[in-house]
Structure 1
């Protein structure tokens, strides 16, 4: 990937922080050390990312701060590690380190590592600093920003967690060069979400550059990350605890989480959709439901389908998932009120809104195989 200058996105609100996006940041010891207030640092990563970047990050940090007491915890890669049991192991690692109130947890990896590390940081001594160092596109544009941390339980994704804004987000775009193509596509699904929910101009830009983004163009990916983060940062600053418009960031997620949960994260006998792929399908289901309810035209639904297909993302529910079972999962969504479905739908590209009391019969219609 061709190097480009770092980009900065400021997140405002009660707990402001900065997002830095650029090449070579994993080796920037000054930037990393500037985030650490005390002497204890726990580096959390997974079995896929740690062999690539953990030693580099640790060396850069300790070169600037040789006084640091640094611990490491490496968890098995994959969504199956985002559990209360693994959360407990991170807490034990903090205890072994002797981490004090000014300790810092550094989350090096994708969304699973970021969510789990952030939740552990939120709970250790009722809250210590967490620095998010995302290494996947999906984490760079979504899970590392905004302070929502959680683990999964059998009943559903992200049902146990806390709001805990990071001290900083440091996104090294060079890490994307080692990202599997499928993971890059998954991240692009979340990028599309920002255009779909609130920025028709960005959606047009994504249509124009879909091929280059899919091919891993570094400068265009950096721009896509920065624009996505700026969208999320603005919404999060206005609604840090998801009391209102922040729910718009869940466009496609209620459907997508239902698919992920119902397929058991790793469905036996077939390859399960990952989070970004499930969100892609979920966004299209939300658009289809909006068309069914008369809120939007089929033309916008088709534009979304075409862009997702151009980015080589799935657009249909995996075979074998029953509509009633998916609806049952959707009833557990945290946005619901008094047992009634509350979904993020749209009135066309760039015009998402939260719709209360959605008719379950209409939802079942779009969940039926086509």
Structure 2
């Protein structure tokens, strides 16, 4: 049985379908016999799941093409985006065609952006295969590619037709990738739900062991929390910015070190601690709460110390290119207590440098 949630966006509403073997559940893809799809995946995921998905679709009368791109954050580029568009054009895909993103956050973001651009917009379906993409990036319609000067700076808000979350895909996920996904899971507890944070303190070992009932609850709850925020603020004009806790610092790490050297979740893990220290220096967060967050991140096998090679001053140029910056002034998502955050305008750069130094 699949658990189905809805992202409520009027005519752009769509379902998130979560369960074992969801990859084989044709009705939830919302396709019909005769439809044409282009499946985009990477060279890691392709041998694992592309034949299964292709066979299922073709048995239901879907005409399929596929394109396989290299795996990794460093390939979240205009070149990869162009490869997808070229494949659509070469195979004479039309406005009625559907793109399917089979992979993690990189695949989902690039495919979504290609779907937003091809013939001014075609349908696409998210089939996320990593924990991070299942709980976060596949939901909400943020699509983008990276630029050497900034992460996710070129993209569009463009909602999928459906999200298909197959829990069995996590069985082939490397431990490091699983931990990276847990950073985004822990984020939801810090920003929105104290009780969920406590639940994570009690069940983090179950999640690392891929215990089915714990993982099913965790993914569904994260998706429910995100769906509510997205429904309230689809294009991040207000409350949706809170979902970026730790990301302004984390994106600086990714951009400075080169995309893919630190996984996104690893950078966000340290970024959330830096945000917590910033909040403490502003007098709005306690040492005890920082300790609880740090201990949970450590138990999730995530980094809690900044990259040794990166000086605190190296963060600032990247942070000033963050999409939340207004008039050249830093705006940061900072916790006020576990389960609640706020966006703070015009944060002093010296204070930010101090908070980064706290994570050495």
Question: Which residue of 331, 334, 338 corresponds with 1:342?
Answer: 331
Counterpart position of 1:25: 22
Counterpart position of 1:42: 38
1:295 Cα deviation after fit: 1.1
RMSD: 1.2
Counterpart position of 1:10: 6
Contact 2:249/2:274 (<8 A) preserved: yes
Contact 1:343/1:355 (<8 A) preserved: yes
Contact 1:36/1:103 (<8 A) preserved: no
Contact 2:103/2:127 (<8 A) preserved: yes
The structure 1 segments of at least 4 consecutive aligned residues displaced by more than 6 Å after TM superposition are none
Matches within 5 A, 1:250-269: 250-266=244-260
1:38 Cα deviation after fit: 6.5
Deviations 1:7-60 (A, max 9, x none): 11111023110000100111223333x245962200000000010000100110
Question: Which residue of 38, 41, 57 corresponds with 1:61?
Answer: 57
Counterpart position of 2:187: 193
Deviations 1:188-245 (A, max 9, x none): 1100010000100000000010111111112111110000000000000010000000
Change (3 A) 1:200 1:35: farther
Counterpart position of 1:132: 126
- Alignment pair present for 1:89 and 2:83: yes
- Alignment pair present for 1:248 and 2:242: yes
Counterpart position of 1:269: none
> With structure 2 as the length reference, what TM-score do the two structures score?
0.97
- Alignment pair present for 1:328 and 2:325: no
Change (3 A) 1:136 1:36: farther
Q: Structure 2: any 5+ residue segments left out of the alignment?
A: none
> With structure 1 as the length reference, what TM-score do the two structures score?
0.95
